[in-house]
């Protein structure tokens, strides 16, 4: 379980997130949503100690994240960040094998179990055929799948992802998020696509201006009036096979009427 309470983070004397909180339990997929510059990525980075909060505390199963060091933190939290280097001179299998590092002692060789975990992780994201390719030669979508595979090979029970559907085509967006939903891990994920967030996240936290403006179920958070206020766009909420989905139109366009599927 990840719990964040009263988190404030700033750069250069200016707060970018202020008094933000979150609770994500085992098996939950919590989506962080909000417009560009709302503080989503900064908050996510604070959850895994890449940023130190000015106020508040992040806890992992009741233990302060700030008290965890090195491999202990890496064994418990796996991260798929946006800024991962893309020109590393390694194969795909070697890139995913890096996810096994927290399970090794210093100077120890990778084991058969490590290589089996890599193969299983690549298969799970549909990238087993890429194992021998040079990572730097992959497309953006292929790289994203490999990075997710690396986090799965890490076998942590807490997973944090920053816009993992970037560069993925529609099929792999859905396959990836459906897979993440099935893992049973504590998952926090930054998403821009509100319909994907509504479909695959168990609850949502919407940020705007560095603060939380709504938190709860998709039906509670993705309110058309709130979306107009935060995003400046009209939205109609419809139910499609029992899942809330949004139909958007610009504020100077008439909102088309739709019926549930």
User: How high is the pLDDT of residue 70?
Assistant: 79
Within 8 A by CB and 6+ apart from 150, the residues are 78, 80, 95, 96, 98, 99, 121
Whether the pLDDT of residue 253 is over 90: the answer is no
Asked if 222 contacts 193 with a C-beta cutoff of 8 angstroms, the reply is no
Percent helix, strand, coil in the chain, to 5, is 35, 30, 35
Whether the pLDDT of residue 86 is over 60: the answer is yes
Spatial CA neighbour of 206 closest among 4, 44, 35: 35
**In 64-156, which ranges are continuous DSSP H helix?**
70-76, 92-97, 112-124, 140-154
Spatial CA neighbour of 34 closest among 197, 166, 148: 197
For 177-194, the pLDDT digits (tens) are 998 898 889 999 999 999
User: How high is the pLDDT of residue 12?
Assistant: 81
User: How high is the pLDDT of residue 84?
Assistant: 67
Sign for the pseudo-dihedral over CA of 125, 131, 136, 137: negative
Within 8 A by CB and 6+ apart from 247, the residues are 235, 236, 238, 255, 256, 258
Whether the pLDDT of residue 195 is over 70: the answer is yes
DSSP string, 17-41: EEEEEEEE-TT-EEEEE-STTSSHH
User: How high is the pLDDT of residue 102?
Assistant: 87
Q: What is the DSSP letter of 48?
A: T
Count of positions (residues) in the chain: 261
For 88-134, the pLDDT digits (tens) are 789 999 999 999 988 877 777 889 999 999 999 999 888 999 999 99
Q: CA 12 to CA 83: how far, in whole Å?
A: 21
Whether the pLDDT of residue 53 is over 90: the answer is yes
Asked if 194 contacts 228 with a C-beta cutoff of 8 angstroms, the reply is no
CA 21 vs CA 24, 43, 74, 110, 242: distances in Å:
10, 9, 22, 39, 29
Report the predicted TM-score, pTM, of the whole model to 2 decimal places. 0.87
User: How high is the pLDDT of residue 89?
Assistant: 86
190's tokens? 């930054």
**Structural domains for the chain:** 2-224 (3.40.50.300)
Pick left, alpha or beta for residue 216 (phi over 0 → left; psi -120 to 50 → alpha; otherwise beta). left
């Amino acid at each position: 379980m990840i719990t964040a309470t009263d988190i404030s983070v700033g750069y250069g004397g200016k707060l970018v997130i202020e008094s933000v909180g979150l609770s994500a339990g085992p098996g939950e997929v919590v989506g962080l949503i909000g417009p560009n510059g709302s503080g989503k990525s900064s908050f996510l980075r604070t959850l895994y100690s890449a940023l130190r909060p000015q106020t508040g505390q992040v806890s992992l199963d009741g233990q302060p994240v700030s008290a965890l060091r090195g491999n202990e933190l890496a064994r418990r939290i796996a991260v798929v960040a946006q800024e991962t280097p893309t020109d590393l001179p390694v194969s795909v299998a070697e890139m995913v094998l890096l996810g096994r590092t927290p399970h090794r002692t210093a100077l120890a060789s990778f084991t058969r179990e490590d290589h089996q975990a890599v193969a299983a992780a690549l298969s799970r994201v549909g990238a087993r055929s890429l194992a021998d390719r040079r990572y730097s030669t992959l497309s953006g979508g292929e790289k994203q799948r490999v990075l997710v595979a690396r986090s799965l090979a890490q076998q942590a029970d807490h997973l944090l992802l920053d816009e993992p559907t970037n560069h993925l085509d529609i099929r792999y967006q859905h396959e990836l998020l459906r897979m993440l939903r099935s893992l049973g891990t504590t998952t926090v994920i930054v998403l821009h696509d509100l319909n994907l967030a509504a479909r695959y996240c168990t609850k949502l936290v919407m940020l705007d201006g560095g603060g939380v403006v709504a938190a709860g179920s998709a039906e509670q958070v993705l309110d058309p009036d709130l979306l107009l206020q935060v995003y400046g766009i009209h939205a109609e909420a419809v139910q499609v096979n029992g899942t809330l989905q949004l139909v958007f139109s610009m504020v100077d366009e008439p909102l088309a009427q739709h019926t549930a599927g």
